[in-house]
Amino acid sequence: MSTLPTCQTLLLDLHDCVLHITLNRPESRNAMSLQMVAELRAVLAAVRDDRQIRALVIGGAGGHFCAGADIKDMANARAQGQPAYRDLNRAFGALLQEVQHAPQVVITVLQGAVLGGGFGLVCVSDIAMADHQAQFGLPETSLGLLPAQIAPYVVQRIGLTQARRLALTAARFDGTQARRMGLVHFVEHDPQALAERLDEVLAHVLCCAPGANAATKKLLLASAGQPSDDLLDQAAEWFSEAVTGAEGIEGTLAFVQKRKPGWAV
């Protein structure tokens, strides 16, 4: 069995053949910090070739899944200029690629905020289940930014028509609507039902041979076509231009100051 890395922003619980990964920054609704990205990537690397670990279950502490990127990291990047923003954004894209291609079955369990980067993690999971009151959304454009690394996976998950509507309006929607558009597979009305659904799904996963699952997942992803490195590199460039531009500065400042940005009516 793999040796798991020590993590400060994640809780890891290996139970039988299933690794439960809990995003553990509840004070920020599990906002995706650069440290959390690095720790998730380290965990994925540690288990990649371990066929004894057959499923990865990703959830969040404190009643939320993930509220998106950590604004503090963006503030720290500001002093270093546009290349730092590009690298910060691209690191999250690398995480999405690695989750997408993990040989294990990746299951997301969703409660509370599922925004921005959290939304992206759902789009690269194999199976997603949500509380009916979970709140989904792509808030980036309301901050003067782009859902740069997320967008290709959103399109792949729910189609271009829905992706355009959600990304260009920053609309929020609940778990029931997420199921209707194919973002999640199961919606439950209380934590107990969500836990029971997870147990049921894991029982089905563990009926399947791990090597066959890994190969089948690789085949399915190849059949669907994948976001390319070139596209994600370009997206990171666009993100860095946006966040250092007038709209990005105003949008992120307004967020921190808890006010509407200048363009909002």
Residue 4 has pLDDT above 70, yes or no: yes
pLDDT band for position 114 (cuts 50, 70, 90): very high
- CATH fold of 10-189 reads 2-enoyl-CoA Hydratase; Chain A, domain 1 (3.90.226)
Give the single-character DSSP code of 203: H
| Residue whose token pair is 């791990």 | 210
pLDDT band for position 265 (cuts 50, 70, 90): low
Strands (E), 70-203: 105-110, 113-115, 127-131, 135-137, 186-188
Rounded distance, CA 127 to CA 143, Å? 29
Quote the distance between the C-alpha of residue 130 and its chain's center.
14
> What does the longest C-alpha to C-alpha distance in the chain come to?
55
What is the percent of the chain with per-residue pLDDT over 70, rounded to a whole number? 100
Give the pLDDT mean for 92-109. 97
Q: What number of other Cβ atoms are within 10 A of residue 46's Cβ? A: 16
Q: What number of other Cβ atoms are within 10 A of residue 66's Cβ? A: 29
Q: Return the domain boundaries, the chain.
A: 10-189
| DSSP 3-state of 4 | coil
Predicted local confidence at residue 167, as pLDDT: 97
CA distances from 76 to 51, 84, 102, 137, 140 (A): 39, 9, 30, 25, 18
> Could you read off the pLDDT of 72-84 as tens digits, one per residue?
777 777 777 778 8
Predicted local confidence at residue 38, as pLDDT: 96
Quote the distance between the C-alpha of residue 133 and its chain's center.
18
> Could you read off the pLDDT of 159-203 as tens digits, one per residue?
999 999 999 999 999 999 999 999 999 999 999 999 999 999 999
Q: What is the mean pLDDT of the chain?
A: 93
Rounded distance, CA 121 to CA 125, Å? 6
- End-to-end, the C-alpha distance of the chain in Å comes to 55
> Could you read off the pLDDT of 28-71 as tens digits, one per residue?
999 999 999 999 999 999 999 999 999 999 999 999 999 998 87
Residue 214 has pLDDT above 70, yes or no: yes
| DSSP 3-state of 210 | helix
